[in-house]
Amino acid sequence: MTRAGDGAMTGPADAALRRFLTTRRGGVDAHDAELWTALERAADGGKRVRPRLLLSVHAALGGTDVAVAAEVAAAMELLHTAFVVHDDVIDGDRTRRGRPNVSGTFTDRARRAGVTPARAERYGDVAGLLAGDLALAGAVRTVALCGAPPATVRRLLDLLERALRISAAGELADVRLSLTGGADLAEILTMEEHKTAVYSFELPLQAGAVLAGADEAVIARLGELGRLLGVAFQLRDDLDGVFGEEADTGKPALSDLREGKCTPLVAHARTTPWWPELAAYVGDPRIDPTGAARVRELLTASGSRRFIEDLAASYGEVARAVAEPLDLGADLGGWVAATTAGLARAA
């Protein structure tokens, strides 16, 4: 997909983020320095989706103070970094984008020092938890000190807290659904909206609008747009994880399925006669290419692929309809139109 706000300057947000991280790199001591170095690597190389959304909507709605918006955009990326680092601790993941993540870096270091594997893992988890704490507190601090008028800062802090609470609740729901199993599609969509869509789409869009002085009706509508886009992308990700090329998605094919995650595709397939054969593959880390091809066949034959494609397209369509009257301009408005149309085309 094209990127939101490719036309908007993301430079100022990158600069603000870099300033935040590099001024801390030296550390108050060697341990602190290690945590910040790891955080800098974790924040590096991201697509900056959230800062781009914030800066584009800010520009589209006539916002002029780019320096302030860039600070808040940097805070969005810090928040995202905190969530990613803490998520990896929760999931026990030690790599991200093919290289060691924060906890993986510290685990590796302890192993090389001759520490037993179990203790090295624990050390990695502790480092991930602490680094995530630093990034999270940094996000709140950066919003608080962004330089906007006090009433705007309070409003932004309220939006940030709401997003944090909803995404924490979504994360907890995700783990609980995986414990109990058998979640239905509605529960999964709500969980994904809470866990990801709110902080990744609703929050940056609304924060950019608040900074541009938009009125409440526009802010509310942007929230709706953000949630719809967020869920549409989650559905697309689910499809790409099964039917996409590893080179495009950057994730090993069928990784969610191998982990036994209850995704929308799986939730739909469970309601069809193809489920008994498919169920054998869900949670099997050793699916071979023949098995992978069979999984794709089953998810197609069951109608699950088509159902989720249609659902993604519908979310995209409603998002487009919500966006239209907002008059988001060529940059952001064009991106919403193109991306949501892309969801339909992929279907």
Return the number of other C-beta atoms located less than 10 Å from residue 296's C-beta. Answer: 15
The CB-of-161 to a second copy minimum distance in angstroms stands at 6
Contacting a second copy within 258-287 (CB under 8 A): none
CA distance 54 to 39: 22
DSSP characters over 191-228: HHIIIIIIIIIIHHHHHHHHHTT--HHHHHHHHHHHHH
**Binding to a second copy by residue 168, rule CB under 8 A?**
yes
Return the number of other C-beta atoms located less than 10 Å from residue 29's C-beta. Answer: 8
Among 157, 279, 344, 346, the residue binding a second copy under the rule CB under 8 A is: 157
Cα-based torsion angle of the residue sequence 164, 167, 172, 177 in order, rounded to the nearest 10 degrees: 170
Q: Nearer to a second copy by C-beta: 180 or 290?
A: 180
Binding mask 100-139 for a second copy (x = CB under 8 A): ----------x--x-x---xx-xx-xxx-xx-xxx-xxxx
Among 2, 6, 26, 27, the residue binding a second copy under the rule CB under 8 A is: 27
**Binding to a second copy by residue 68, rule CB under 8 A?**
no
Tally of CA atoms within 13 A in the half-sphere of 258 that contains its CB? 14
Binding mask 72-101 for a second copy (x = CB under 8 A): ----------x---x--xx-----------
**Binding to a second copy by residue 194, rule CB under 8 A?**
yes
Nearest to 136 by CA among 164, 113, 115: 164
Contacting a second copy within 301-340 (CB under 8 A): none
**Binding to a second copy by residue 9, rule CB under 8 A?**
no
**Residue 279, C-beta contacts closer than 8 angstroms, at least 6 positions apart:** 270
Q: Which residue bears the tokens 């054969």?
A: 277
**Binding to a second copy by residue 151, rule CB under 8 A?**
no
- Of the candidate spans 162-170, 294-302, 314-322, 323-331, the one that interacts with a second copy by CB under 8 A turns out to be 162-170
Q: Nearer to a second copy by C-beta: 60 or 198?
A: 198
CA distance 262 to 250: 20
Among 77, 88, 121, 171, the residue binding a second copy under the rule CB under 8 A is: 171
Return the number of other C-beta atoms located less than 10 Å from residue 124's C-beta. Answer: 26
Q: How far from chain centre, in Å, is Cα 282?
A: 24
**Binding to a second copy by residue 35, rule CB under 8 A?**
yes
Residues in the site for a second copy, rule: CB under 8 A?
A: 24, 27-32, 34-35, 82, 86, 89-90, 110, 113, 115, 119-120, 122-123, 125-127, 129-130, 132-134, 136-141, 143-145, 150, 153-154, 157, 160-162, 164-166, 168-173, 175-176, 179-180, 194
